[in-house]
Amino acid sequence: MDQPLPIPLDNLIVCTHCDAAFTLERPEVGQRAVCARCGTVLITPRRKAGLQIIAVSVAITILIIAATVFPFLSISAAGATNSVSILDAALAFSDGPLVALALTTAALIIFVPLARVLLTIYVLVPIVLDRPPARRSTQAFRLAEALRPWSMAEIFVLGCAVALIKISDLADVAFGPAFWMFSGLVVLVVVQDNFLCRWSVWKSLDKTQTS
Amino acid sequence: MVGMEVAGQNSNIVSARDLGVVACTRCTQVWPAGTQICSRCGSTIVARDRLSLQRVWALWLVGLMCYVPANMYPMLQTRTLLSVQEDTIVGGAVELIHHGAVGIALIILIASVVIPIGKFMAIAFLAISVKRPSSVSNHHRQVLYEVVEYIGRWSMIDIFVVAIMSSLVQLNTLAAVNPGRASLFFALSVIFTMLSAQAFDSRMIWDVRARQEEMTTDE
């Protein structure tokens, strides 16, 4: 611990998956730096990525709110009809012990994705504007990253497809406007996730905080 | 793609631990070994999570215990004018095959049977393999771990299908679909296996090789 290190810590990068240490070599914009041992992507800088991600995030926020409010799917059989919103679907498990499940589903398909984009906007806007980061930015970004595996909007969309085919021989099913919004939303979530270079965000949070 | 230049003088890839540094697993900032808390993002830092395997096994066991009732209780209760039908996960898929929807039945079977069972086996294998030498290469085990982490979430699809169907098919006396008790257990099983996979410290996969090399050079 006390022995002097051969390389200053700021010039080191460590792969969090396999713990391999490398001297830092910043890739050009558009290139990627990958771990030579396990192949994990370490850095992927992009030109104007911050602005693009903010734009996509704002779009996602609007779509989530709209998709939750508008009718999502409607069904009709022999004169009886029923239409539901995404919130209705999430809260389907509403009797007895299944209430916990209702809250979990609602969180997984609506609130976690929403929280993630809002946190991302909160963190990125000051960085893009070259301002000092907003208060508790690091905590916000850490939370957004921790929530990543729990954001399941894209799984919900595939679930819709499966449910529709299951129902279709029982009754006629029609898509509401929210269905299309939600499908678009999923594409945007994937885009946002792939554009974001976590290393760069942490670096800029660090830089602006210490100076 | 740019490969990263290897730190240190020798051509072998050096682990951060051997270099006397430790990296924050959340924000990747490097600190001297022994640092407790990352001052960039505030995460707790451990060089190797010693309790990791215990947590993996505990969560794995809870997930497995939830998976049993998830398959025994009915997942879906379908009430039509004439009959009430209760289907378990596998029963529902078999029913779909009888109706001719083989593709959908396959999606359900893969998402709710093949993936969960495969996941239980994969996590158990990874947890055992860091304790004793394994014939599977580190690289393949790393890939296996990433696949497990990525694919585990997709098991939730059955829960969402049940949620959509039971909220949509509520046509009073004509037909109604209600979620069964299994849905709760199944969701818990998926959540616990996801937590179990997250608790696994994948850096341990690569430690074994280093330890083996140490042993062979010592002899």
Q: Read off the pLDDT band of B18 (50, 70, 90).
A: confident
Q: Which fold has domain B49-218?
A: Butyryl-CoA Dehydrogenase, subunit A; domain 3 (1.20.140)
Count of CB atoms situated within 10 Å of the CB of B50: 10
Are the beta carbons of A100 and B29 separated by less than 8 Å? no
In terms of CA atoms, which chain A residue is nearest residue B143?
Answer: A38
Give start and end residues of each alpha helix (H) in chain A: 49-69, 86-90, 99-106, 112-128, 137-146, 153-167, 177-195, 198-210
Q: Which of residues 102-161 of A touch B (CB under 8 A)?
A: 104-105, 108-109, 138-139, 141-142, 145-146, 149-150, 152, 155-156, 158-160
Residue scoring higher pLDDT (B62 or A207)? B62
Give me the percent of chain B exceeding a pLDDT of 70.
Answer: 88
**Over 60: is that where the pLDDT of A118 sits?**
yes
Contact A205, A141 (CB under 8 A): yes
Exposure of A150 in the CB half-sphere (CA atoms within 13 A): 21
The answer to whether A34 faces chain B, any CB pair under 8 Å, is yes
Convert the pLDDT of each residue in A74-106 to its tens digit: 777 766 777 777 777 777 776 666 788 888 888
CA atoms of B83 and B86, how far apart (whole Å): 10
Phi, psi of A176 (to 5 degrees): -90, 175
Give start and end residues of each alpha helix (H) in chain B: 52-72, 89-99, 102-109, 115-129, 138-151, 157-168, 182-199, 203-218
Are the beta carbons of A92 and B179 separated by less than 8 Å? yes
Query: What is the pLDDT, as a whole number, of residue B69?
Result: 92
Query: What is the pLDDT, as a whole number, of residue B8?
Result: 45
Q: Residue B175 forms beta bridges with which residues? A: B80, B171
Query: What is the pLDDT, as a whole number, of residue B10?
Result: 43
Tell me what ipTM this predicted complex has: 0.81
Q: Read off the pLDDT band of A165 (50, 70, 90).
A: confident
The structural domains of chain A, with segments of one domain joined by +, span 1-45, 48-210
Q: Nearest CA to CA, how far is B172 from chain A (Å)? A: 8
CA dihedral B65→B71→B72→B75, nearest 10 degrees, is 120
How is residue A184 annotated by DSSP?
H
The answer to whether A91 faces chain B, any CB pair under 8 Å, is yes
Q: What angle do CA A84, B116, A99 make, to 5 degrees?
A: 35
Convert the pLDDT of each residue in B36-52 to its tens digit: 788 777 778 877 777 88
CA atoms of B144 and A60, how far apart (whole Å): 32
Are the beta carbons of B104 and A165 separated by less than 8 Å? yes
Single-letter code of the amino acid located at B87: D
Are the beta carbons of A92 and B202 separated by less than 8 Å? no
Phi, psi of A129 (to 5 degrees): -85, 5
Please report residues of B whose CB lies closer than 8 A to that of A9. 21, 30-32
**Over 90: is that where the pLDDT of B62 sits?**
yes
The answer to whether A198 faces chain B, any CB pair under 8 Å, is yes
- The residue behind tokens 């008790």 is B181
Q: Cβ contacts of residue B38 below 8 Å, gap of 6+?
A: B24, B26, B27, B29, B31, B44, B45
Contact A73, B159 (CB under 8 A): no
Please report residues of A whose CB lies closer than 8 A to that of B105. none
Nearest to A18 by CA among B196, B58, B140, B57: B140
3-state secondary structure of A75: strand
Q: Does domain A1-45 have CATH number 2.60.120?
A: no
Q: Nearest CA to CA, how far is B175 from chain A (Å)? A: 9
How does the average pLDDT of chain B come out, rounded? Answer: 81
Q: Nearest CA to CA, how far is B32 from chain A (Å)? A: 7
Convert the pLDDT of each residue in B95-136 to its tens digit: 888 877 788 888 888 888 898 999 999 999 988 888 877 777
